[in-house]
């Protein structure tokens, strides 16, 4: 029988005021992994009160001492890596290899963040007036909200919470409902790392209810969100209208351009990594493939052949490439866009179906999918699918490829495959994306660099890297006449 888990408020595990629960399912076989609190606005209010009560003491704790919790957290993550990766594979569906990669990336991020507590620098600037000493300091905001997605539930949750608390804020954490079990572990990890009661609080439940309660509450000074553009823009409007700060990492329709001089074998491997692995459930994954006409047929053949070799099975299967997509909603989204693309005239080169043979019938398994003949008017060119689907558009020149790449409401990540340095640097200067690459998969990232997008892909300051604390702090300017 599956366990029932609770909200984490003021250092205690407590039931929701609704007395209702929901299940988190293993997408490979629909086994119930646990039951979680179906909370409401009252539970959010209770968490906010706990965070508000804890804020003065935590804000007045020396910043380097706040940073010490991350050094302990690194050791805990390393010691529990296999357990954490196992939970991620069971709950998200990704391969055990990819789940281990998520834990490893989280550890790398904490190594980067752990020093931020001693880098909360201000500045001193000479005054125009003799005898006046002026400088700036950074201060925490207060109670803040963190809303995390399902695709990297350990990594993104911790990547947001860690800098928020290092800056001296207290946190209300709302995880994705279909990754609630790994989020329980996040709370346990921070508690074991020595975070005091009330500094981090978690409330599980429906996104519309909990997210709206966090976004609209006057005591929430800032909200950091990762998820769909539609939800992020609506949440951002609610947060901004009451004068709070908003940070959002949202959708992407990321282009990869392939020029005539690209190494096609290496390019195909990179496209598999960015477009097909992890079932394309990455905001930075390649979903638009823009190819020069002279190499389109050869690239198509190589990519289809490689896609058909990918092993699709339960994430714990040896040498597996992809497990299932996260839930039936994502399965239906995938099937909807496949049907739409075919109806609009795109050519299905491979995939395009749910996989139900060889013991896969109980799960949400799908085939890596490539469409050719895609035009800029087609739905599959414009809308984010968040699945292992690439839409190929053929062009005649580099200039046309760049124009097509920029023809999107999104601007998160991009890649160009070429050995022409002039075109590579022209692309870097002119592509409308917050992250870009040359001869590297579009989903490649390192935590010591800022991360974020342009256009409808992001709101507010960048996450990670040198910009980590920008969103989580306010500046105070000080003038002193001794």
Catalytic residue IDs: 249, 283
Residue environment code for 232-264, b if the CB has 16+ CB neighbours within 10 A, otherwise e: beebbebbeeeebbbbbbbbbbbbbbbbeebeb
DSSP letter at 280 equals G
Q: And the tokens for 117? A: 């507590």
Asked if residue 107 lies in contact with residue 79, where contact means CB atoms within 8 angstroms, the answer is no
Q: What long-range pairs does 464-469 form, CB within 8 A, spacing at least 24?
A: 464/109, 464/112, 464/159, 465/112, 468/112, 468/113, 468/116, 468/163, 469/116, 469/119, 469/120, 469/138, 469/163, 469/166, 469/167
The C-alpha angle with vertex 283 and arms to 393 and 262, in degrees rounded to 5, equals: 40
In this structure, are residues 476 and 143 in contact, taking their beta carbons and an 8 Å threshold? no
Nearest CA among 155, 170, 165, 246 for reference residue 201: 170
Q: 109-138 burial, b if ≥16 CB within 10 A, otherwise e? A: bbebbbebbeebeeeeeeeeeeeeeeeeeb
Cα distances from 246 to residues 241, 278, 372, in angstroms, run 10, 28, 38
Task: Dihedral sign for Cα 371, 287, 367, 298, please.
Answer: positive
């Amino acid at each position: 029988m599956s366990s029932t888990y609770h909200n984490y408020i003021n250092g205690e595990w407590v039931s929701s005021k609704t007395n209702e629960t929901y299940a988190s399912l293993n997408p490979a076989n629909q086994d119930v992994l646990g039951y979680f609190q179906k909370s409401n606005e009252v539970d959010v209010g209770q968490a906010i009160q706990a965070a508000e009560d804890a804020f003065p003491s935590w804000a007045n704790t020396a910043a380097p001492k706040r940073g010490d919790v991350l050094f302990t957290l690194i050791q805990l993550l390393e010691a529990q890596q296999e357990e954490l990766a196992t939970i991620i594979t069971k709950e998200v569906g990704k391969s055990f290899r990819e789940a281990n990669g998520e834990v490893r990336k989280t550890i790398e991020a904490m190594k980067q963040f752990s020093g931020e507590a001693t880098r909360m620098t201000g500045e001193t600037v000479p005054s125009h007036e003799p005898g006046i000493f002026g400088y700036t300091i950074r201060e925490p905001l207060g109670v803040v909200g963190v809303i995390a997605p399902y695709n990297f539930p350990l990594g993104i949750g911790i990547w947001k919470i860690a800098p928020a608390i290092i800056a001296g804020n207290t946190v209300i954490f709302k995880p994705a409902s279909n990754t609630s079990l790994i989020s329980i572990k996040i709370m346990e990890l921070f508690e074991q790392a020595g975070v005091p009661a009330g500094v981090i609080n978690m409330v599980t439940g429906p996104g519309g209810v909990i997210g709206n309660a966090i976004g609209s509450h006057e005591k929430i000074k800032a909200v950091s969100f990762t998820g769909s553009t539609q939800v992020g823009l609506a949440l951002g409007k609610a947060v901004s209208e009451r004068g709070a700060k908003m940070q959002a990492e949202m959708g992407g329709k990321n282009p990869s351009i392939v020029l005539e001089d690209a190494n096609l074998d290496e390019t195909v491997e990179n496209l598999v990594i960015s477009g097909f692995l992890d079932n394309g459930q990455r905001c930075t994954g390649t979903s638009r493939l823009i190819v020069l006409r002279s190499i389109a047929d050869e690239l198509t053949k190589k990519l289809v052949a490689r896609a058909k070799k990918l092993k699709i099975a339960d994430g714990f299967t040896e040498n597996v490439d992809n497990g299932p997509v996260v839930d039936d909603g994502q399965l239906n989204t995938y099937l909807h866009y496949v049907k739409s693309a075919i109806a609009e005239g795109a050519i299905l080169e491979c995939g395009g179906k749910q996989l139900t043979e060889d013991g896969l019938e109980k799960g949400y398994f799908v085939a890596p999918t490539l469409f050719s003949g895609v035009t800029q008017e087609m739905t599959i060119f414009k809308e984010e699918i968040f699945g292992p689907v690439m839409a190929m558009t053929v062009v005649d020149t580099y200039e046309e490829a760049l124009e097509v790449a920029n023809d999107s409401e999104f601007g998160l990540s991009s890649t160009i495959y070429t050995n022409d340095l002039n075109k590579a640097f022209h692309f870097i200067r002119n592509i409308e994306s917050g992250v870009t690459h040359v001869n590297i998969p579009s989903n490649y990232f390192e935590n010591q660099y800022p991360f974020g997008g342009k256009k409808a892909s992001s709101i507010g300051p960048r996450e990670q890297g040198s910009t980590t604390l920008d969103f989580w702090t306010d500046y105070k300017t000080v003038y002193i006449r001794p």
